[in-house]
Amino acid sequence: MIRDTGPGTGIDVDAVVEASIAAGEATIADLDTDEIVARPPRSPFRIAVHRFMKHRLALVSALVVALLGLMAVFAPIVAPADPNAVDLSSLRTAPSAGHLLGTDSAGRDVLSRIIYGARVSLTVGIAAAISAAGLGTVLGLIAGFTRGWVDTIIMRIVDIFLSFPSLIVILLLVAILGPSVSTIVVVIALFEWPTSCRIVRQMTLALREHDFVLAARASGSSNLRIMRRHILSGVMSPLTVVTTLLSAQAILLEAALSFLGLGVRQPQASWGGMLNEAQSITVLEGLPWLWLPPGIAIAATVLAINFIGDGLRDAFDPRQTR
Amino acid sequence: MLAFLIRRIMIAIPVLLGILALTFILVHMLPGDPATVLLTPEELQGDPDIIERRRAELGLDRPLPVQYVAWLGELMDGNLGQSFHRKVPVTEMIGPRVMPTLILSGTGMVIALLVGVPVGVAAALRQNTKFDYTSGVGSMLAVSIPTFFQGLIAIYIFSIWLGWLPSGGMRTLGISASGADLMKHLILPAGVLSAVLMGPYVRYTRQSLLDVLRLDHVTTAKAKGVPYWGVVTKHALRNSLIPLTTVLAVQIPALLAGTVIIEFVFSWPGMGRLVIEGINSRDYPVILAVVMITAVLVLAFNFLADVTAAILDPRIRL
């Protein structure tokens, strides 16, 4: 029970799983008593949505992320200037009416680069998290459903991957394979799937003992159908939480890679890459508009996503009644 | 207990072999032919067959599984390979970097524990108060702000703006090494590292204590009139801290990742900085050696943590 925590991800596997298992039971119990009299019966999904809406921090965060997403999609319209337009006549100028956040060492508009940088961060965050969660879900379902030696092998592979310091291996692989958004996504997914695999496996182990699985089998459902139709739907809620938290993790990893000069290649704008320039004391001391905005952008995005994850966890957790 | 130990070792052995196999695969993914790396241009020019002979000499013409076993043998002898860049054994390059990293990560972890655990306990005891929310948001902030950004802000505030602390390095050049000087250089990097680690400690301690406080034996203790602090310290806290031993071990990869970035930002001469230098000079064997050492360390710490937890909590042994 205790070892089921993903290193460094800050994802509490047990809490997620317990909450989700409890959610299924408690919502039914709730409906039996007062609720059914007081209001029309609501589905667990509706209850979760209702709880999430009450979580103010998560709601605001969802709004922030939605705005960021719109900003990234419509970057060409939103951005005041071309992010890659070099202007040698105005290098490192302070923020002004013409350049709201100033210009960088190549005379490029910092604000426009921040807006375009959202594209890289969000793409990596979403793509890596979904790939990692997808891989983890498939393996976790197989492990939990078949049990036996297949389970043992998959879980040992999980242990092996969790032992590696993912940042260093990712650094190494990106250095060998060459930095590009797709490489970064693949490599992050390759080393971040074990967390979701553990959660899905644990949920599957619990769910497969339920009577509805027995009923499905009795009525002739194949294993594949049971997994897809009955187990997967039960796994969905903790998986959503974990995928959310994984995307925050992936954004941080991409930022760290770009900061170390191994991420997205210049001139493409990325937040971590913009901070890469702040390594000299002169920039740090005299040109705060070069490094503060991208840093704040990363922190705000990751914070918002983490709050959404927290809100989702609470929404699926019946023990928390706020 | 013996059965538990044997079972745990049976799990650890395939994982260890798996870690080594994965490292071996990574070695083979490295660009550059090891056969040519240690040859001088003259040797390559003079003799066309030298590469083939060299391959045979190094055993590179044998099948991969055989090479893997041979490579394992080399590891046993403490041979972690040759640096591409400096042409010296990797162990020679890593050796002097171990101590600085241990100092930095050890200090960071101790600070994080000394602050994080009490804050987590306080947050659990005052659940749903302002203090609880503040510490929750605070630990969320600490894990959400990128480590390198925290480092840059710390340098900006304490080195540039206030001028209190040095912005990097492990000691001031020109004066002899002293404990006080080391301390001054250690405060910022260790502080940032502890901030990164503290968030999870606060959250786990809080959650774990809340879980235990809900248990029947705590209610019983309260009911029979044990003073509040007695209940908290004797009945709840001791139990709730057992999972923390595991959290500490599981956090080691995060600790190392944090150390890599912090050593880079603060020019700390440790293993993390060696990794970055290795990547910049394409010196892959060095990085790979560090990766492997840390993976094995993580495995060892996980093992120790499980054994410790089993000693503290007999139920785990089952």
Residue of B nearest to A320 (CA): B128
CB-count burial class (<10 Å; 0-12, 13-18, 19+) for B146: buried
What does the pLDDT read at residue B58?
65
Determine the average pLDDT of the residues in B83-101.
Answer: 80
Q: What distance in Å separates residue A200's CA from the closest CA in chain B?
A: 19
What does the pLDDT read at residue A137?
92
What does the pLDDT read at residue B248?
81
Judge contact between B263 and B272, C-beta under 8 A. yes
Instruction: Pinpoint the alpha helices (H) of A208-231.
Output: 211-218, 223-225
Range from A109-113, A191-195, B128-132, B173-177 carrying the lowest mean pLDDT? B173-177
- The verdict on ipTM greater than 0.90 is no
Q: Which of B287, B23, B274 is nearest to A172 (CA)?
A: B287
Q: Enumerate the residues of chain A whose CB falls inside 8 A of the CB of residue B288.
A: 172
Judge contact between A296 and A121, C-beta under 8 A. no
Give dist(CA A300, CA A122) in Å, integer.
Answer: 13
Residue B9 has pLDDT above 80, yes or no: yes
Residue A159 and residue B199: Cβ atoms within 8 Å? no
Residue A275 and residue B200: Cβ atoms within 8 Å? no
What does the pLDDT read at residue A14?
59
Residue B19 and residue A164: Cβ atoms within 8 Å? yes
Residue B188 has pLDDT above 50, yes or no: yes
Listed by number, the residues of chain B in 164-223 with a beta carbon closer than 8 Å to a beta carbon of chain A are 167, 199-200, 203-204, 207
CB proximity A159 to B under 8 Å: yes
Residue B152 and residue A164: Cβ atoms within 8 Å? no
What does the pLDDT read at residue B173?
67
What does the pLDDT read at residue B40?
64
What does the pLDDT read at residue B272?
84
Judge contact between A166 and B261, C-beta under 8 A. no
What does the pLDDT read at residue B163?
73
Residue B257 and residue A167: Cβ atoms within 8 Å? yes
Structure tokens at A60: 């605001």
Residue A302 and residue B145: Cβ atoms within 8 Å? yes
Q: Which of A168, A278, A303 is nearest residue B141 as measured by Cβ atoms?
A: A303
Percent of chain B with pLDDT over 90: 2
Query: Can you give the pTM of this predicted structure?
Result: 0.83
* Backbone φ and ψ of A109, nearest 5°: -70, 120
B36 pLDDT band (50/70/90 cuts)? low
Q: Which of B145, B156, B260 is nearest residue A284 as measured by Cβ atoms?
A: B156
What does the pLDDT read at residue A128?
93
Average pLDDT along chain A, 322 residues, taken 10 residues at a time: 41 58 48 48 70 80 91 82 73 71 74 87 92 93 88 89 84 83 89 90 87 87 84 86 91 89 80 80 77 89 91 73 42
Q: Which of A198, A142, A153 is nearest to A17 (CA)?
A: A198
CB proximity A278 to B under 8 Å: yes
Q: Enumerate the residues of chain B whose CB falls inside 8 A of the CB of residue A175.
A: 279, 282, 284
Determine the average pLDDT of the residues in B271-296.
Answer: 81
What does the pLDDT read at residue A303?
92
Determine the average pLDDT of the residues in B148-168.
Answer: 82
What does the pLDDT read at residue B83?
73
Residue B38 has pLDDT above 70, yes or no: no
Residue type, A128: A
CB proximity A56 to B under 8 Å: no
Residue of A nearest to B200 (CA): A10
Residue B203 and residue A10: Cβ atoms within 8 Å? yes
CB-count burial class (<10 Å; 0-12, 13-18, 19+) for A23: buried
Residue B291 and residue A259: Cβ atoms within 8 Å? no
| Average pLDDT across chain B, whole number | 80
Q: Between B40 and B214, name the one with better pLDDT.
A: B214
Residues B42-58 have pLDDT tens digits of 666 666 677 777 667 66
Listed by number, the residues of chain B in 114-173 with a beta carbon closer than 8 Å to a beta carbon of chain A are 128, 140-141, 143-149, 152-153, 155-156, 160, 167
What does the pLDDT read at residue B213?
80
Q: Which of B140, B204, B250 is nearest residue A303 as measured by Cβ atoms?
A: B140
Structure tokens at B303: 């093992």
